Structure 1
């Protein structure tokens, strides 16, 4: 009977997560991620005795978030960043300055330790590249490149800062963790190439499984040395993309065409699409009714307004001065980089488990992640609407001619 209940529960969740977000998205233009979160929040509050986090959901959610970060690593396009390296160096410096200012303000007003204050600041200021990239598929190429590169450079900076902050209290552990990451980045490409050449190239069709298993091992290694497992997953994704490009170009692997390489990367996108809903649903289940108190909502909204305005203002001013961009365009691009969703949730979970932050701060951070996503989505829908209006105007003008 217990097994039957688990199976029924699984199918109910599966049906809700795979179909309801698509229906809501087509009717209200709300991103799937927000709907998945809301489903988790509503069910967790309404029927907590039935919808709660168990081993099954934990495993599915972990696979989802690992795959999402692997795919984020694969999404890194270095050519555009290298081409505009001076701009992005300035962008990263500004990102770090905002992070430091927010961290110091938190330390001053909340009287937290510097380590916790800066981790909170990281949760408030680091863009969630995976969510942002999935939301901008329909916008024009040039603007898309800028948003992708800004989001990814911000997330990579956030990952590096997270590694440093998590080991800040132990200098030996920090050096060991950084050395492990350097070794992982250095050795992983050679390990992938060696294993594939000697063993897995002879097994046609195993490439996806091979890369996925290596990514999981990479995630385990970083977790084992005291760095969050998502860092290992991101590195594995970044290295795996270069590995795919290499085997596609290698004429000795006849079955590995350019189309095959593209399909491999797309496959990870679909894999993430299947499992990440469980992560956001599970995150929604963690949000309790008590988090929606007036104090929590007021603090969350005020912090959201302050940090979002600071981020958009500073980064937009940089674009206006540096590349002489129009004010409206600069604001649009930076507003779409506002969502901190996944990174906020990841850092908040670390703060709760490792540093035992209080319920109020935990609630504020969780709601902040949701609010930034709503703001970013609103700007995206506004940009899409303006684009459709422009297209309609052009068509009317052409018709009159």
Structure 2
């Protein structure tokens, strides 16, 4: 089979198979990742193809462009106190985790910090795309999205600081360029929106994607990563378009969803081809499972405790928010890719990170999936703490059965 036909066949598999397996609650990205692993073995000429790399960049850039556009600064300002607390808790956890890794394994400080970021940062894009499939209330959905956004913004800034060692520029020059980029971007976008769009109706989406790609490449060149530039374009465009009634923000978001939905499987596929050379072994499996057993309960527990203390929520509601914020699929693979290119300081790091990433990303679908059976896990946890499950979940999950159980228990 020639290369063109092979690329078309791979694209067809990437578009169809992950969506078919999504019915079994297997995240699309995990399926695409394993297709990449298989392609590296059986079709290596596809794995390193320039088209696959380009589609991969388009996928991750459009996803973080979309994540930036989803942010509502009014909501962040309104709830700034609990969000600032959440960010501070997140940063403390990342620092403690990085210090622990350094003391245990004596890796470099930058690699310890990157690993810690991968373990503690939720993937906002994945969570926003998946939360509609989980059994959570509207209020819980709001807090899940808002907390994930706040945590990811802080993590992106920290990642930019850590990845400066990859840049050919000095840290001072990189920070100056990044500052100039952040200041200039709103001006450039406002100029394009006011002077270009009126004479080019219907080009809003194309202009936005091109600008996101250009900024993604720029931030990559100054030692950051593609997603940082695309994310900032999303932030700025969201605020600018709110002041332009002639531009349909909803229509652009719908188009971006379709665009990202087509290209993002190529990012996971490309990640799978890169990780083929990782040292998959029994040792890396045990390390990965150990990280799952230690970090995931702590992450969920910290979120539960913070929500219960600050908002006075019921344990069941705090538990659902904690579990829903566990997935780090996209951010975990991004960090794994950075570590791969920089060189992992131990052969078990990448496989262990991938195992942790996959389990944390599957967990919400298993625990919070739209099935009445999932309710019993939340109910048992609630009973252990002497509380009742939130009525929002009880109402959604077989109301008659839940009511009868409550009467029996009373």
**1:104 paired residue number:** 99
In 2, the alpha carbon distance for the partners of 1:160 and 1:89 equals: 15
Q: Does 1:224 align with 2:229?
A: no
**2:290 paired residue number:** 302
In 1, the alpha carbon distance for the partners of 2:261 and 2:66 equals: 10
**1:360 paired residue number:** 348
**2:255 paired residue number:** 267
- 1:221-240 Cα distance to aligned partner (Å, 9 max, x none): 21222222211111011111
**1:324 paired residue number:** 312
CA contact (8 A) 2:25 2:362 kept: no
In 2, the alpha carbon distance for the partners of 1:103 and 1:88 equals: 22
Give the number of equivalent residue pairs: 383
In 1, the alpha carbon distance for the partners of 2:45 and 2:178 equals: 41
What SS is found at the alignment partner of 1:365?
A: helix
In 2, the alpha carbon distance for the partners of 1:364 and 1:262 equals: 39
When the two chains are superposed, the root-mean-square deviation of aligned CA atoms in Å is 2.5
What SS is found at the alignment partner of 2:132?
A: coil
User: What's the TM-score once normalised by structure 1's chain length?
Assistant: 0.88
* Cα offset, 1:206, TM superposition: 1.0
What SS is found at the alignment partner of 1:136?
A: helix
Q: Does 1:191 align with 2:195?
A: no
- 1:151-192 Cα distance to aligned partner (Å, 9 max, x none): 11111111011111223799x933333333332222211211
CA contact (8 A) 2:114 2:159 kept: yes
Q: Does 1:74 align with 2:62?
A: no
Q: Runs of 4+ in structure 1 displaced over 4 angstroms?
A: 48-51, 382-385, 387-390, 395-398
In 1, the alpha carbon distance for the partners of 2:25 and 2:287 equals: 28
In 1, the alpha carbon distance for the partners of 2:22 and 2:179 equals: 41
User: What's the TM-score once normalised by structure 2's chain length?
Assistant: 0.86
In 1, the alpha carbon distance for the partners of 2:128 and 2:274 equals: 25
**1:346 paired residue number:** 334
* Cα offset, 1:315, TM superposition: 1.9
In 2, the alpha carbon distance for the partners of 1:326 and 1:158 equals: 28
Larger CA deviation: 287-296 vs 143-152: 287-296
Q: Does 1:38 align with 2:34?
A: yes
- Segments of structure 2 that go 5 or more residues without pairing to the other structure are 376-391, 404-410
CA contact (8 A) 2:98 2:109 kept: yes
1:94-173 mapped onto 2 (5 Å cutoff):
94-138=89-133, 139-167=136-164, 173=170
**1:60 paired residue number:** 55
* Cα offset, 1:371, TM superposition: 2.1
CA contact (8 A) 1:40 1:283 kept: yes
In 1, the alpha carbon distance for the partners of 2:215 and 2:278 equals: 38
In 2, the alpha carbon distance for the partners of 1:169 and 1:284 equals: 22
In 2, the alpha carbon distance for the partners of 1:290 and 1:352 equals: 9
CA contact (8 A) 2:271 2:337 kept: no
What SS is found at the alignment partner of 1:39?
A: helix
